[in-house]
Amino acid sequence: MSRLIKDDNPEVDAQGQEHAPLLLPLSNNAVISHLKACQSLAANHSKDAFKRYLKVLDDAITVEISRASSNQESAELGEVQRLFRQNRDELERYYCGYLSEGFVRFKKRELQTSIGGEGDGTELSLLGHDELEETIAISSITQRADSYYAEPLWALNQRFAVLNGGEHVTEASNPASPIQFCESLRKSLKLIPLPPKTRQLAYKVYDQQLVGLLRVVTEEVNEYLKNHGVLPHLKYSAPAGAVPASYFSEDGEEPVLEDLGSAEGAEQAEGGEDSHEEYQANLMTAIRSLQDQLVSVGTNVPSGGVVVSSEDLMGALQSLQLQGGGDTPELGNSQVIPIDISAIVEQLHAKLQQDAKDGEVDQTDMQTIDLVGMLFDYMLSDENLPDSIKALLSYLHTPFLKIAFIDVGFFEQTEHPARVLLNSLCEAGSRWVGNDGTAQYDMYSKIKDVVDRILSDFESDVRFITGLLLEFSSYTKNIIRRQELMEKRATEKAQGEEKLREVKLRVNEEVRGRTENKELPSAVLLFLLQPWSDYLSFALLRYGEKSDRWIKALSVVDDVLWGVEPKKTEQERARQMELYDDLIVAIESGFETIGYDQIKGRKLIDALSSLIRLAMQSKKAEPAPAPMRDKLERIAAEKAGSKDVRGDGISPEEEQMVESLKMIEFGTWFEFEGGKRLKVAWYNARTSHYMLVDQMGKRVDMMSGLAMARQMIAGKAKIISGSSKPFFERALENIFQKLNEKAEAIQPETEAETEDAN
C-alpha cells in the first residue's frame, strides 16, 4: 500500500505558522520536470566521466600489451584496443542512453535492476564462468559503492519516492544508484566481443571511475531536489575528502594504473561478498516476519490441541501427489489442465484435520503450506510463462510442498536443487515454448517428462531432484550453446546488411540534400539517384568517408549539378569547359567500377553531355515532371531501406511509440498475434530497424520501428515484461509485497481496536 512521504520538519512562515514545505502527491508535470532535470544532470556527468573512463582504459590496455607473455596475446589485446577506439562514440552513446532509460522506466514504475543483468534465469552456480565473474565484479562494485555512499543514496531514495507517488524506492529502483551505472556499462560492453581478462580489466578501471562520478551525481541530484522543495529538510551526511585507500584493495594487488580515472586518485578495487544470496535471505526473513505478524493479529491462527505428526503430514501430501496416477491429466491436443492451487490447499487442510486428534496443524507448518501455495499462485499469474507451461508446472505444487517440509533449506538456500530446478523449468518454458502452441527443441515434452517423473517417482529423497536437475541442465545447456551460435551468426549477418543499409541511407541523404528544391532534368535525377548512388555506396563502404574516392565521388555530384545550370559569363563557360573532360572520365570510371550496363551508361553520359552543352549556351533544360521525379526519389529511398515519414502519414501516437521502442533492451521478448514469441536480438539505432529472432535463435524479420509501433498500437504485438531475475526470486518479491499489503491493510483496524480497548 503506497504512502505519501511527509517531511517531519515543517517550515514556518513570517507569521510563525507551520505549514508543509511540499504538497503531495506532485502533479504529473512537476514529476516529469524534476525527472528530466535529474536525468540531464546524471547524463551530462556520465558522458564526461565515460570519456575519461575510455581514455584510462585505453592506457590500461596499453600497459597490459607491454606485459603480454606472447605475440598472440599482444595481438589479441591490440585488436581489443582497436575496437574500443573504433567504437568509442557508439559505446558512449549506448552507455548514456541506457542510463537515461532508467529514468524513463522509473517514471513508468518499471525500473527494478538486479545484479547479473539479463542472465538466463538460472542460479549463479549454473551460469557460465565468464558471466559468473562479470556478475561477481558488478556485485563487488555496487556493494562497496552502496556502503560508501549509503547516506546520500538513502536521501535520494526518499526523494525519488516522493516523485514515485510515495511508493518505496530502493537502490534497484533508484535511477541514479550504483547498480544503474554498472548495468549501463554491462550493456554497452556487449557491443564489443571481450575476452574474460580484458572484461575484468574494464570493470576494475570502472570501479575507480565510478567513485568520483557517484559523488558528484548524488550531490547534485540531491541538491536539485532539495532546492525544488522535495524534502528540503532531509538530513544526511555525505562522505568528505578523498576516498580512503581501504575502499580499494583486492588481495593486496597494485592498481592497474596510477590515478586510474578517479577524481580522487583512488587505488585498486576491492572484492566483496556477493549480495545475491543475502538479498533472497533477507526477503525470506521479512516474509517470515510478516507471517508471524499476521498470526499475532488473528490471521490464520491454528486451533489448540495436539498437532498433526510429521508422518501424517507426509502421508497426506503423498496421497495428494498420487491422486492423478502419477501423470498430468490431458485434454485434446495434449493440453494439460491446470490444477486449482486453492482447492489443493483446502483438501490438504481437510485431510490434516481429519487425521489430527483435535484438528490442529502446527503454526509453522501452516505458514509453509501457505507460502508454497503463494509461490505457485504467482507462477500461474507470471506473464513470462506461456499458459501451457503454467498449467504443467502447477502439478509440482504438492511435491514441492513435500520438499519444503522435508528440507528446511528449500526456502533458505538459493542453490537448493529443487529451487534451481524450478527456476530452470520456468526459464526453459518461457524461452522455448510459445502461446501459439509451438515448442522448440521438443521443450514442452521434456518439461512434461520431468513433471511426470516427479509426480510418479519422488517420495522423500531430494537427491532424486538433484539427478533430474543435472539431466535437465545438461539438456538445456547444449541447446543454449546452439541457439547462441545461431543467434550470433544471424546478428553478424544482419549487422553486415545494416552496414550496407546505413551506407545507402547516407548516400541518399547526401544526394537528396544537394538536389532538394532544385528543378532538374530527368537525366540528371536518373544519373544521381540510380547508378551514381550505387557508386557512392561502393566508395563509402569500401574506402570510408575520409577517403579520396568518396570525396571525389561527391564532387562529381556537385560538378554535374553546377554543370547543367545555364552559364551567363565567359568565365563560367571557360570553367565548365575545363571540368567537362575530367567529369566525363570520372563518370565512365565509376560506371566501370560498379559494372553498370554499358549501353545504359553511354546513353546517360550522352544525355548529361547534351545538358552541359545546353547550359553553356545559357539555356535551361526542361525539368523532370513531378510524377516522374517523385517516382525516382521514392524508388531511391526504398532502395536505401527507408521511407519518407512525411509521406507515410505517421501519427503523434505512432511517433511516441517509435520513441518508446528506442529504449527497449536487447533480449526483449514480444508476443505477436496468435501467440508467436520473437526476441529483439539486435537493434540498429541509425536505421531504426530491429532484428527479431524466434525461440531457436533463427532470424525471422528485420522490422522497422514504425512497423513495430503500428503492430503494438493495433494490439497485434505486446512486450513480454521479462526479468533478469530467476523465477524463485521474483516469486518471493511478489509474496513479500502481497503479505506487506495485507499487513498494512489490517494495521489501522488493529490500532483502532487497541485504542477502543484502552
The DSSP secondary-structure symbol of 680 reads: E
pLDDT at 356 exceeding the cut of 70: no
CB 35 within 8 A of CB 50: no
Mean pLDDT value across residues 18-35: 67
Residues 6 or more apart whose CB falls under 8 angstroms from that of 702 comprise: 494, 497, 498, 689, 690, 691, 692
Q: Which amino acid is at 504?
A: K
Residue 18 resides in a domain? no
Confidence of residue 178 (pLDDT cuts 50, 70, 90): very high
376-379 own/partner pairs: CB under 8 Å, 24+ apart:
376/341, 376/400, 377/341, 377/342, 378/730, 378/731, 378/734, 378/735, 379/426, 379/727, 379/731
> For residue 420, what pLDDT is reported?
92
554-557 own/partner pairs: CB under 8 Å, 24+ apart:
554/510, 556/532, 556/583, 556/586, 556/587, 556/590, 557/510, 557/511, 557/514, 557/528, 557/532
HEC string of 391-434 equals: HHHHHHHHHHHHHHHHCHHHCCCCCCHHHHHHHHHHHHHHHHEC
Q: Please choose, from the candidates 120, 115, 118, the residue with its C-alpha nearest in 3D space to the C-alpha of residue 483.
A: 120
Q: Which helix (H) or strand (E) holds 50?
A: helix 28-66
> For residue 78, what pLDDT is reported?
87
Q: Which residue has the cell 505517421?
A: 650
Rounded Cα distance between 554 and 544, Å, is 13
Q: Is the bond leading into 531 cis (omega within 30 degrees of zero)? A: no
Q: Which of 217, 251, 273 is the last residue of a domain?
A: 273
pLDDT at 108 exceeding the cut of 70: yes
Beta carbons within 10 angstroms of residue 28's beta carbon? 10
Task: Give me the domain span that covers residue 452.
Answer: 281-460+731-757
Beta carbons within 10 angstroms of residue 209's beta carbon? 23
Confidence of residue 752 (pLDDT cuts 50, 70, 90): low
DSSP for 535-564 reads HHHHHHHHH-TTSHHHHHHHHHHHHHHHHT
> For residue 180, what pLDDT is reported?
93
HEC string of 718-751 equals: EEECCCCCCHHHHHHHHHHHHHHHHHHHHHHHHH
Confidence of residue 326 (pLDDT cuts 50, 70, 90): very low
Confidence of residue 357 (pLDDT cuts 50, 70, 90): low
Rounded Cα distance between 208 and 696, Å, is 40
Residue 4 resides in a domain? no
Confidence of residue 345 (pLDDT cuts 50, 70, 90): confident
Whether residues 635 and 661 fall in one domain: no
The DSSP secondary-structure symbol of 14 reads: T
> For residue 2, what pLDDT is reported?
30
Whether residues 288 and 430 fall in one domain: yes
Mean pLDDT value across residues 457-476: 89
Beta-bridged to residue 336, according to DSSP, are: 330
> For residue 175, what pLDDT is reported?
94
Q: Between the ranges 105-114, 673-682, 749-758, where is the mean pLDDT highest?
A: 105-114
> For residue 264, what pLDDT is reported?
35
Mean pLDDT over each residue of the chain, to the nearest integer: 78
Rounded Cα distance between 420 and 427, Å, is 10
Whether residues 621 and 661 fall in one domain: no
Q: Which residue has the cell 489430527?
A: 356
Rounded Cα distance between 24 and 612, Å, is 72
Rounded Cα distance between 42 and 177, Å, is 10
Whether residues 532 and 593 fall in one domain: yes
Q: Which amino acid is at 712?
A: M
Residue 117 resides in a domain? yes
Q: Between the ranges 153-162, 488-497, 636-645, where is the mean pLDDT highest?
A: 153-162
Rounded Cα distance between 590 and 560, Å, is 14
pLDDT at 80 exceeding the cut of 50: yes
> For residue 248, what pLDDT is reported?
56
Whether residues 711 and 753 fall in one domain: no
Higher pLDDT, 248 or 325: 248
Torsions phi, psi for 168 (to 5 deg): -60, 135
pLDDT in tens, 521-553: 988 888 988 899 889 988 988 888 889 999 999
Q: Which residue has the cell 541457439?
A: 483
pLDDT in tens, 591-617: 999 898 889 989 999 999 888 888 888
Rounded Cα distance between 680 and 111, Å, is 19
> For residue 242, what pLDDT is reported?
66
Rounded Cα distance between 706 and 713, Å, is 10
Lowest mean per-residue pLDDT among 127-136, 556-565, 625-634: 127-136
Q: Which residue has the cell 532470424?
A: 699
pLDDT at 17 exceeding the cut of 60: no
Rounded Cα distance between 352 and 401, Å, is 14
Q: What percent of the chain is modeled with pLDDT above 90?
A: 18
Whether residues 120 and 215 fall in one domain: yes
Rounded Cα distance between 447 and 248, Å, is 46
Residue 475 resides in a domain? no
Residue 516 resides in a domain? yes
Lowest mean per-residue pLDDT among 5-9, 310-314, 476-480: 5-9
CB 270 within 8 A of CB 250: yes
Whether residues 93 and 234 fall in one domain: yes
Residue 465 resides in a domain? no
CB 397 within 8 A of CB 373: yes
Rounded Cα distance between 453 and 345, Å, is 22
Rounded Cα distance between 737 and 639, Å, is 53
Angle ∠(58,63,68) on CA atoms, nearest 5: 120
Whether residues 610 and 660 fall in one domain: no
Residues 6 or more apart whose CB falls under 8 angstroms from that of 667 comprise: 118, 679, 680, 681, 722
Residue 250 resides in a domain? yes
Whether residues 216 and 288 fall in one domain: no
Q: Between the ranges 256-265, 275-284, 345-354, 674-683, where is the mean pLDDT highest?
A: 674-683
> For residue 266, what pLDDT is reported?
33
> For residue 474, what pLDDT is reported?
87
Residue 743 resides in a domain? yes
Rounded Cα distance between 681 and 691, Å, is 6
Structurally, how many domains does the chain consist of?
A: 4
> For residue 567, what pLDDT is reported?
81
Mean pLDDT value across residues 273-279: 58
Confidence of residue 260 (pLDDT cuts 50, 70, 90): very low
Q: Which of 251, 273, 295 is the last residue of a domain?
A: 273
Q: Which helix (H) or strand (E) holds 372?
A: helix 363-381
CB 746 within 8 A of CB 382: no
Mean pLDDT value across residues 646-675: 76
CB 399 within 8 A of CB 455: yes
CATH code of the domain in which 686 resides: 2.30.30.30
Confidence of residue 500 (pLDDT cuts 50, 70, 90): confident
Q: What percent of the chain is modeled with pLDDT above 70?
A: 79
pLDDT at 187 exceeding the cut of 80: yes
> For residue 423, what pLDDT is reported?
92
pLDDT at 323 exceeding the cut of 70: no
> For residue 424, what pLDDT is reported?
93
Rounded Cα distance between 754 and 469, Å, is 51
Rounded Cα distance between 80 and 91, Å, is 13
pLDDT in tens, 412-440: 888 899 999 999 999 899 888 888 778 88
CB 684 within 8 A of CB 493: no
Higher pLDDT, 516 or 253: 516
Confidence of residue 124 (pLDDT cuts 50, 70, 90): very low
Q: Which of 273, 300, 317 is the last residue of a domain?
A: 273
Strands (E), 298-381: none
Q: Please, where are the H alpha helices in 190-227? A: 196-227
Whether residues 742 and 619 fall in one domain: no
Can you tell me whether residue 172 is helix, strand or coil?
A: coil
pLDDT at 753 exceeding the cut of 80: no
pTM: 0.48
Whether residues 451 and 530 fall in one domain: no
Whether residues 308 and 409 fall in one domain: yes
Rounded Cα distance between 683 and 689, Å, is 6
pLDDT at 20 exceeding the cut of 50: no
pLDDT at 629 exceeding the cut of 70: yes
